[in-house]
């Protein structure tokens, strides 16, 4: 076998096909055993208890680390537990700079950390890199961003953030859920830690709840491994296997998501009832404003193909109303201040035929026009 680095399509398709697997299984076996037999005192085979290490999870974590160009990865029980794992590196009294347009669940968790654990958060608009340093205090320990942001789909300049983080010796954490490692690898842009809600594009079929943390640097990885084992937010073996199965087709799916999203974007931009379309330039997510919030209800009601549901990144197209669903925990005045208003609709464009998706949206807009 040649040793040149493979293209992403090859690397993803080959996840779990380990030539060294003892029984020559092409698909990584699911090790459900919670305990592992020891031959004698001090002689284990590297596995003792499944929370501390599981052979199926190891294969997944190895694949995740390689996909993001990190040193180690940690598979967690959800995207939020991935965020919690990373914030467990920090302590009461620490200050974190994050982006204003952030997932509602992250905002809710940050508010809880402020209230119950004495953390402090400052919210930066994500665009003015020259103003980012103004938010840094003596007790600032990290910068946390999503790029593109959710749901306003704004790209943040990771290289610029990384420079500031390094100057001030801060941890630079990036949530890469929306673009996935197929479209961007934040560690290559200077991030220390990458987070995923693996429930979304990585698993890709709206059927697995999972998270992932990927880190660079030995000290950081050892600390995360210690916390991951100590707190027990590990992903169950069967879910690890399902996630690997989803990741095998990530490049294929992402190409179709992106092609469809670009078709949908072009269609929506031509519609008089649509005020503005927010698309970050690549990937399968977009948001748009209807001209009036009273249009939202009839529009949603008339859709057949798009499912009105929370979440994103699955093969099926979903439509989400951030104001009452994903971002409901952000106070209305705060939301409105940065453009997350009640006219905003978010689309997770699936892999169906683009023409059918456009027809469905046309149907929805026709119902509004009536």
279 is catalytic: no
DSSP string, 25-58: -SSPP----SB---SBTTB--S-SBTTT--HHHH
- Measured in degrees and rounded to the nearest 5, phi and psi for residue 200 equal -85, -115
Catalytic residue among 103, 107, 201, 295: 103
DSSP conformation class of 339: T
- Measured in degrees and rounded to the nearest 5, phi and psi for residue 225 equal -60, -40
Sequence-separated (6 or more) residues with CB below 8 Å from residue 27 = 16, 17, 241, 245
CA distances from 297 to 150, 308, 322, 364, 368 (A): 22, 11, 13, 10, 9
175, 216 in Cβ contact below 8 A? no
175 is catalytic: yes
The span from the CA of 146 to the CA of 138, in Å, is: 24
CA distances from 284 to 86, 248, 350 (A): 26, 18, 7
100 is catalytic: no
Q: How far apart are the first and last CA of the chain?
A: 63
The span from the CA of 271 to the CA of 87, in Å, is: 43
Catalytic residue among 57, 72, 100, 200: 200
Catalytic residue among 9, 36, 47, 51: 51
Catalytic residue among 175, 192, 239, 360: 175
The span from the CA of 177 to the CA of 193, in Å, is: 13
Q: Would residue 24 be called left, alpha or beta, if left means φ above 0 and alpha means ψ between -120 and 50 degrees?
A: left
171, 143 in Cβ contact below 8 A? yes
Q: Is 193 exposed, middle or buried (0-12, 13-18, 19+ CB in 10 A)?
A: buried
200 is catalytic: yes
DSSP string, 74-134: EEESSHHHHHHHHHTTS-TT-EEEEESS--HHHHHHHHHHHHHH--EEEEE-SS-HHHHGG
Query: Catalytic residue numbers?
Result: 51, 103, 175, 200
């Amino acid at each position: 076998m040649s040793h040149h680095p493979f293209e992403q399509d090859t690397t993803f398709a080959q996840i779990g096909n380990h030539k060294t697997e003892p029984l020559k299984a092409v698909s990584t076996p699911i090790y459900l055993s919670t305990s592992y037999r020891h031959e004698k005192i001090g002689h284990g085979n590297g596995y003792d208890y499944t929370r501390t290490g599981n052979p199926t999870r190891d294969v997944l974590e190895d694949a995740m680390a390689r996909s993001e160009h990190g040193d180690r990865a940690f598979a967690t029980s959800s995207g939020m537990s991935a965020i919690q794992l990373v914030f467990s590196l920090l302590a009461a009294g620490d200050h974190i700079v994050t982006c204003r347009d952030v997932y509602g669940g992250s905002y809710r968790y940050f508010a809880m950390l402020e209230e119950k654990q004495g953390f402090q958060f400052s919210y930066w608009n994500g665009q003015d890199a020259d103003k980012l340093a103004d938010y840094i205090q003596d007790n600032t320990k990290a910068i946390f961003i999503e790029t593109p942001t959710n749901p306003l789909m704004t790209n943040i300049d990771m290289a610029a953030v990384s420079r500031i983080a390094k100057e001030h010796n801060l941890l630079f954490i990036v949530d890469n859920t929306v673009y996935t490692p197929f479209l961007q690898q934040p560690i290559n842009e200077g991030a220390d830690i990458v987070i995923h809600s693996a429930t979304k594009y990585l698993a890709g079929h709206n059927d697995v709840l999972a998270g992932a943390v990927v880190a660079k640097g030995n000290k950081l990885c050892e600390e995360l491994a210690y916390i991951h084992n100590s707190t027990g937010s590990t992903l169950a073996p069967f879910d690890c296997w399902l996630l690997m199965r989803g990741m095998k087709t990530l490049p294929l799916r992402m190409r179709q998501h992106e092609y469809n999203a670009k078709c949908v974007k072009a269609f929506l931009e031509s519609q008089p009832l649509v005020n503005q379309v927010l698309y970050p330039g690549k990937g399968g997510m977009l948001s748009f404003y209807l001209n009036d919030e009273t249009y939202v209800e009839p529009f949603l009601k008339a859709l057949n193909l798009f499912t009105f549901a929370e979440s994103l990144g699955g093969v099926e197209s979903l439509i989400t109303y951030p104001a009452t669903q994903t971002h409901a925990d952000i106070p209305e005045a705060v939301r409105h201040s940065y453009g997350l208003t009640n006219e905003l609709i978010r689309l997770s464009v699936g892999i169906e035929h683009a023409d059918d998706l456009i027809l469905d949206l046309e149907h929805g807009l026709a119902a509004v026009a009536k």
